[in-house]
């Protein structure tokens, strides 16, 4: 009888502590500039060099805390707050189901409206970088009406084993269909409007190796079909940025 209770207790214990774990092995420290926002805040992305279906966006919430937002393209969104000290010191960010939502991109069908365009290499400070862009294939009148921009990616050539970091959900959906762009760590993103003007930039000031994790309980792992169907969809789908 004691053995039976022990076995049951172990099963319950394992279920309580069963977790889905996300691993991050490098971080991008990004400085944005914008023609519409005079004082954009710097932010950080934690990434996995081999798996680009998820990333962790980190920004200052206030002077002592940071906001963490994870998107897993397969169906998970996590939003939590940690102290700035904890963010830099912690190896693992543990989250509850209260901080976890079912994620979906209802705009994924829009991926067919855009194309990847590969350009000749770009030279910055005597260093050669890959250069490609995401451009809308709709008529110019449509692009002007929707204020759609062309997104240019400048990528390091010395990091070809790193999966592309594509930032926007719709662009990730494009990549799944046509993986015809180079791998590599991001150096720069800039946005060009339909008038040929640069409307914003995201410059990577530093890229460092890290070893951090984020966990969620398995009972709110919405990449699992059985679990996902029990929770209403919260749509965080992203079209191309208009800034």
Residues 202 and 115 in one domain: yes
- Please give the tally of structural domains in the chain: 2
pTM: 0.86
CB burial readout 182-197, b (16+ within 10 A) else e: bbbbbbbbbbbbbeee
Q: Is the dihedral of CA 108, 109, 113, 114 positive or negative?
A: positive
What are 71's two structure tokens? 């998107």
Which structural domain range is residue 91 located in? Answer: 18-106+208-235
Structure confidence at residue 11 as a pLDDT band (50, 70, 90): very low
Residues 215 and 178 in one domain: no
Residues 80 and 26 in one domain: yes
Residues 152 and 228 in one domain: no
Residues 32 and 85 in one domain: yes
Residues 189 and 230 in one domain: no
> Is residue 1 in some structural domain?
no
> Is residue 132 in some structural domain?
yes
Residues 45 and 95 in one domain: yes
Does residue 108 register a pLDDT over 90? Answer: no
- To the nearest whole number, what is the mean pLDDT of the chain? 88
Residues 70 and 121 in one domain: no
> Is residue 3 in some structural domain?
no
> Is residue 137 in some structural domain?
yes
Helix/strand/coil (H/E/C) assignment for every residue in 196-237 = CCEEEEEEEEEEEEEEEEEEEEHHHCCCCHHHHCCCCCEECC
CB atoms within 10 A of CB 105: 22
pLDDT given at position 159: 92
Residues 120 and 194 in one domain: yes
Residues 122 and 55 in one domain: no
Residues 116 and 199 in one domain: yes
């Amino acid at each position: 009888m004691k053995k039976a209770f022990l076995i049951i207790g172990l099963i319950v214990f394992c279920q309580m502590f069963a977790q889905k774990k996300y691993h991050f092995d490098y971080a991008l420290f990004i400085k944005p500039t914008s023609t519409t926002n005079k004082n954009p805040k710097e932010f950080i992305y934690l990434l996995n060099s081999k798996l680009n279906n998820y990333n962790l966006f980190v920004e200052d919430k206030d002077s002592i805390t940071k906001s963490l937002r994870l998107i897993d393209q397969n169906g998970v969104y996590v939003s939590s707050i940690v102290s700035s000290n904890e963010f830099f010191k912690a190896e693992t960010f543990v989250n509850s189901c209260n901080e976890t939502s079912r994620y979906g991109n209802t705009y994924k069908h829009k991926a067919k409206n855009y194309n990847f365009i590969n350009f000749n290499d770009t030279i910055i400070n005597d260093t050669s970088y890959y250069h490609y862009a995401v451009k809308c294939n709709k008529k110019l009148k449509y692009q002007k009406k929707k204020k759609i921009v062309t997104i240019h990616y400048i990528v390091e050539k010395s990091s070809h084993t790193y999966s592309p970091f594509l930032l926007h959900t719709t662009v990730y959906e494009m990549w799944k269909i046509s993986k015809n762009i180079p791998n590599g760590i991001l150096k720069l993103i800039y946005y060009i409007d339909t008038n040929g003007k640069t409307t914003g930039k995201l410059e990577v000031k530093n890229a460092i190796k890290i070893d951090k994790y984020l966990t969620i309980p398995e009972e709110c792992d919405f990449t699992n079909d059985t679990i996902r169907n029990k929770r209403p969809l919260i749509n965080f789908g992203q079209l191309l940025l208009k800034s």
